[in-house]
Amino acid sequence: MNHNKKTVPTIMERKNSSKKIVALTAYDYSFSRLLDATDLDIILVGDSLAMVSLGHDTTLPVSMEEMIMHTRAVSKGCHNALLVADMPFMSYQVSDEQAITNAGRLIQEAGAEAVKLEGGARMAGRIQALIHADIPVMGHIGLTPQSINRLGGYRVQGKNFKETRQIKRDALKLQEAGVFSIVLEGIYDDLAAEITQDIKVPTIGIGAGIKCDGQILVLHDLLGLGMSSTPKFVKQYTNLGNETQKAVNNYIQEVRDEIFPDADHSYKTKTQQLKSVSDGS
């Protein structure tokens, strides 16, 4: 029995506690292991994988097969945090049946313990269908990157009264549908605070101010491994991008100057063995 294991109920219970939910993305085994050894609550295999690891301009091109492959790798290193996988674009929009089949694959083949999908009130029925199939769902509203072509850019959402009321309605509809938490992305902090206060499931903010029940960031942004320009809400806690380039430049220099590999990093043959090789004996 792993007493550190975070589960869907553990996350839901945080709504009534003062301990914030802390979440990060991961896309491979190495980072998953490192994150899982901390006190992190949730590891999300985000569809940001498309941009961060696969080099696409948006999250739209990432496929189910790619999400499954990366989620499976992350699951190998994730034993304490709750493992959530994003449902990629077009894996849940068409029908309940397709959504259940694809979410089921993320759970059964890849080892996810819950899925996240984007969309408010219009996704409520789909979310209910997934929950009836025993698949826990994390909602995601506000700035939803899979809607980039409709939104026309990654901009803060809820710019007028009508829009703020729609986002609030979305949160209430997701709660009614049975989500265990809701990501609030790119909305004003007062709207996030109002939603957080008025719903019974935990909110997890990204670009939504300090009043949410938790916070999520893209790991590569926090580590300084992300894009050259990051959104206002990103706080870079270190710059592994610079550190990586420094280390690689040192390596290049030392190889060219014949400093590396030195004696400490080489296998030495015993003189006797060498002699017998040259003797042919």
8-state DSSP, 142: E
**192 contacts ligand KIV (rule: CB under 6 A):** no
**41 contacts ligand KIV (rule: CB under 6 A):** no
Shortest Cβ distance from residue 239 to ligand KIV (Å)?
20
Of 48, 91, 181, 215, which one interacts with ligand KIV (CB under 6 A)? 48
Of 36, 86, 113, 170, which one interacts with ligand KIV (CB under 6 A)? 86
**51 contacts ligand KIV (rule: CB under 6 A):** no
Shortest Cβ distance from residue 236 to ligand KIV (Å)?
15
Phi and psi, residue 25, nearest 5°? -90, 155
Does a cis peptide bond (omega within 30 degrees of 0) precede residue 88?
no
Q: Of the ranges 42-50, 173-181, 195-203, 246-254, which one interacts with ligand KIV (CB under 6 A)?
A: 42-50
Which of 5, 45, 6, 9 minimizes the C-alpha distance to 28?
45
Please report, as residue ranges, which positions from 17 to 36 form the binding site for ligand KIV (by CB under 6 A): 25
Q: Residue 96 burial by CB count (10 A; 0-12/13-18/19+): exposed, middle or buried?
A: middle
Please report, as residue ranges, which positions from 212 to 251 form the binding site for ligand KIV (by CB under 6 A): 216, 218
Give the relative orientation of helices 124-132 and 161-177 as an angle to the nearest 10 degrees. 20
113 is catalytic: no
Among the listed residues 13, 65, 66, 185, the single catalytic one is: 185
Q: Of the ranges 8-16, 46-54, 88-96, 170-178, which one interacts with ligand KIV (CB under 6 A)?
A: 46-54
Which of 147, 139, 125, 198 minimizes the C-alpha distance to 168?
198
Neighbours of 90 (CB within 10 A): 13
CB 166 within 8 A of CB 80: no
Binding residues for ligand KIV, per CB under 6 A?
A: 25, 46-48, 86, 183, 185, 206, 216, 218
Active site residues: 185
